[in-house]
Chain A
């Protein structure tokens, strides 16, 4: 009389589960793609603007800039994906289209995380003319003094980065030294109490310049004309 083994509480059949998941995933996928397309241009414009602002800050006379690459074969304007082993840099031109300076990125580990900077290089004096912070998470009030401490910033008004005789590397390594003991134009006087962050800035510039300048200096004339 009793019904044969009562049916299990209805477990939803697998097809129904898959259908729902499929539907939800499709809807979500569309939302994501829509948002991505919709915001792509604005986000890219923001990034370019921020970069330009920093480049114009470290190369004071600059009014426009162009992106270049330094490959083992020589320098050339950047186009699309960077080639393997290529170092990116920016050529900044003044209002008349004459080369005003170069800007390049450097990064090194600081106290908390990587410190990323953009530094300006002047071919005329073969020296660094200034640097700007791209990103850092250094201790507020201590490590972040690298952008406010006037004495520290003065280090970068004419930081010597001349190449050696063979043009294969920097003649002297750019390095941060203990506060008060700077003796040469290629040294950086570290901020007292913020040695680690100061050293990071020095290392960032040194590592980047060692890679970039030997490739860049021999071919400077190529930059003279602003690429169309």
Chain B
């Protein structure tokens, strides 16, 4: 790959991690994000499962992008995504029953995760396979980071453990609501609040004295 192409690919990769982070910026794929992030392990497992589906689907969609007529493209994408979700469902059962029980119905619900269909339609259908898969990989990592951010906070506050390891000893009174549905909403809202505050501060600094940043 030429230097420019390499730089562009790397850029695509970074896009999904920060600037277009699916959880914090695009606020997509909320359902699994809030439902399974009751512990860091579950968050990681869901992230990896989604990553598998996202990368494979984008790869296959990109491969056939030139032979799919535009009238049936959404239907085709959905069938492809559903295929890989079914695959990951069986693979998880074969690898770890505990993870399978923990993630429950949300494994199959990956198929309606807006991130995947969105990426397939917006990106994979317009770029060659390698670029599409790299971008998908970047977005997956962004998704995993978002999930982990939620999962760790909820597990630490709601159970006093991290990845199963007790942090505070036996006398810790867990903030149980954190691992219940309301906690999911509140923690994500808190993260978004934090990022908005940081963004504001950054913008205030840019406009601060010494600027002449006006038009």
Residues of A27-48 at the interface with B, using a CB-CB cut-off of 8 Å, are 28, 31-32, 35-36, 38-40, 42-43, 46-47
Is B93 in contact with A24, judged by CB distance below 8 angstroms?
A: no
* Range of interface residues on B (Cβ < 8 Å): 20 to 34
- CB-contact partner of A46 in B68, B69, B72, B93, under 8 A: B93
Contact B91 A35 (CB under 8 A): yes
Binds B, one of A134-142, A149-157, A219-227: A134-142
Q: Could you tell me if A36 and B90 are in contact, using CB atoms closer than 8 angstroms?
A: yes
If A17-B69, A20-B68, A35-B91 touch, whether A140 touches B158 (CB-CB below 8 Å) is yes
* Interface-located stretch among B14-22, B76-84, B140-148, B201-209: B76-84
> Would you list which residues of chain B between 66 and 104 have a CB under 8 Å from chain A?
67-72, 75-76, 79-80, 82-84, 86-87, 90-91, 93-97, 101
A59 to B83 Cα, complex, angstroms: 41
Which residues of chain B come closer than 8 Å to A43, judged between CB atoms? 90, 93-94
Least Cβ distance of B66 to chain A in Å?
Answer: 11
A-B contact count (CB 8 A): 69
B7 located at the interface, meaning its Cβ lies under 8 Å from any Cβ of chain A in the complex: no
Give Cα distance in the complex from A156 to B147, angstroms.
39
The answer to whether A31 and B176 touch across the interface, beta carbons within 8 angstroms, is no
State whether B176 touches A141 (Cβ < 8 A).
yes
List the A side residues contacting B90 at CB < 8 Å: 35-36, 38-40, 43
Closest to B159 in A: A140
Least CB distance, B49 to chain A, in whole angstroms: 13
- Residue pair A140, B72 in contact (C-beta under 8 Å): no
Question: Is A21 an interface residue, CB under 8 A from the partner?
Answer: yes
- List B residues 166-204 near A (Cβ within 8 Å): 174, 176, 179-180
Q: A21-B75, A25-B79, A140-B158 are in contact. Are A39 and B69 (CB under 8 A)?
A: no
| Interface CB pairs A-B, < 8 A, 20 | A12-B69, A17-B72, A21-B72, A21-B76, A24-B79, A25-B79, A28-B79, A32-B86, A35-B90, A35-B91, A39-B90, A40-B90, A43-B94, A46-B94, A50-B97, A135-B101, A140-B158, A140-B159, A140-B179, A141-B159
